[in-house]
Amino acid sequence: ATFGTLSDRLAETFKNLRTKGKLSASDVDGTVRDIRRALLEADVAFEVAKTFSTTVRERALGDEVNRALNPAQQVVQIVNEELVGILGGQQRRLEFAKNPPTVIMLAGLQGAGKTTLAGKLAKWLAKEGHTPLLVAADLQRPNAVTQLGVVAEQAGAAIFAPEPGNGVGDPVTVAKNSIKYARDKQYDTVIVDTAGRLGVDAEMMDQAARIRRAVDPDEVLFVIDAMTGQDAVATAKAFQDGVDFTGVVLSKLDGDARGGAALSVASMTGRPIIFASTGEGLDDFEPFHPDRMASRILDLGDILTLIEQAQSAFDEEEARKVAEKFATDTFTLDDFLTQMQQLRNMGSLKKMMGMLPGMGQMKQQLDGFDEREIVRTEAIIQSMTRAERVNPKLLNGSRRLRIARGSGMTVTDVNQLVARFEQAAKMMKTVAKGGVPQVPGMGPV
């Protein structure tokens, strides 16, 4: 599917990062180089790939990453944010005229998906409570009017076209008349389908520009086939110069395109992507969300939210409190248990991730945590008295035996737990004095 290779390449890049705690400048450089290569291979325009990787590099070397509890995740966050940025940032909705009808003009090369889009838009608008009128201003292609008639029927929308048998009408006149017709018949949106050519040509561009002047559209949507590859930017710029457009529609995102067009066009033209088309059916269409598309490219699903949850489970305030306890030797087995229980939250996170598609990479990093281990620890600590939990030195041989029996464990289990606790406390005391607190038993994720 679109972005498949790019997603895989980025996932691979991040997998390498995840095994690292602190990131060195050369880690960052290596990652950024991989990202840039992945983008170029996905047909992203050279300038876009370059700017993107430069920005990611600068940010990844900056303080936000250095100070992060988890630098690798922070880098993923940055890449995600920058992807959202080149995809246009905020979602941009279709603009409607204050005084109907709202006029939407479609432009793009032949085969880009304009006529199909006209039907999709009409159906979608009707569902939103609008009354769309489809206008056949593509009088170049012999079949265009018939094809628009078919999609109009499928969409349950009205169509405005030159009378058959009247010879070939003038598309500018047809477009102009359609607005008056819509006003008279109270259609509140007019979708003007225009002619395309297989390549950009002056005559077609001039006709589109004249239609534009005649109908004074609220939106001009430039439809681009996501499979276009490296030509996407040149085509988009030609249409921007020739007709100008207010928004972009990416079509055929369901195909095997490498995704470069999607990633280049918005940032190279400064025009937002408003819709995405994902199939031949009229329902294969949706408003475009830069953030969702970025998540899809990173194959993270809702993983960033999950990461945030994991991060907040170990939020800085909590970490500071724990560090304080270590530093002052007041960290108890109860605290240890609390920490372990937080790890268990990570465990359920792991399960949750297992259920989401494409989560393999993320799941792996949590595989180091054994949930049964936490359950055992819990059982042992809960069999201790309050005093023992605060001061494990009270745990003599016979108490350890009793605790082992009480929790269904062996004395060795109890001994190991106490030893681990003491070791962790000692280590953490050092760490706490030196600064960055870590959760015992939790390596860099």
Q: Which residues are annotated as a binding site?
A: 108-115, 193-197, 251-254
Closer to ligand GDP by CB, 229 or 279: give it: 279
Backbone φ, ψ for residue 107 (5° rounding): -135, 155
Binding of ligand GDP by 235 (CB under 6 A)? no
Binding of ligand GDP by 259 (CB under 6 A)? no
Annotated binding site for GTP: 108-115, 193-197, 251-254
Name the minimum Å distance from CB 117 to ligand GDP. Answer: 6
Binding of ligand GDP by 77 (CB under 6 A)? no
For residue 440, the Cα-to-chain-centroid distance in whole angstroms is 32
Closer to ligand GDP by CB, 276 or 323: give it: 276
**Among the listed residues 117, 229, 142, 136, the one whose alpha carbon sits nearest the alpha carbon of residue 181:** 136
Name the minimum Å distance from CB 249 to ligand GDP. Answer: 9
Cα of first residue to Cα of last residue in the chain, in angstroms, is 30
CA dihedral 115, 116, 120, 121 (to 10 degrees): -20
Binding of ligand GDP by 332 (CB under 6 A)? no
Name the minimum Å distance from CB 162 to ligand GDP. Answer: 17
- The C-alpha atoms of residue 406 and residue 398 are separated, in whole angstroms, by 12
What DSSP character marks residue 111? T
Give how many residues touch ligand GDP by CB under 6 A: 18
- The C-alpha atoms of residue 111 and residue 52 are separated, in whole angstroms, by 30
Site for ligand GDP in 193-222 (CB under 6 A): 196
Task: List the x/- string, 280-319, binding to ligand GDP by CB under 6 A.
Answer: x---x-----------------------------------
Name the minimum Å distance from CB 223 to ligand GDP. Answer: 6
List Cβ neighbours of 114 (8 Å cut-off, separation of 6 or more).
106, 107, 108, 138, 193, 194, 196, 223
Binding of ligand GDP by 255 (CB under 6 A)? yes
Tell me if 332 sits within 8 A of 324, measured CB to CB.
no
List Cβ neighbours of 165 (8 Å cut-off, separation of 6 or more).
none
Choices 88-96, 277-285, 290-298, 435-443; region in contact with ligand GDP by CB under 6 A: 277-285
- Per DSSP, what are the bridge partners of residue 248? 222, 273
Choices 30-38, 174-182, 250-258, 392-400; region in contact with ligand GDP by CB under 6 A: 250-258
Site for ligand GDP in 90-149 (CB under 6 A): 108, 110-116
Look-up: residue for tokens 């010879």? 167
Residues 224, 278, 263, 96: is their CA dihedral positive or negative?
A: positive
Choices 129-137, 252-260, 335-343, 416-424; region in contact with ligand GDP by CB under 6 A: 252-260
Where on the chain is the footprint of ligand GDP (CB under 6 A)? 108, 110-116, 196, 251-252, 254-255, 277-280, 284
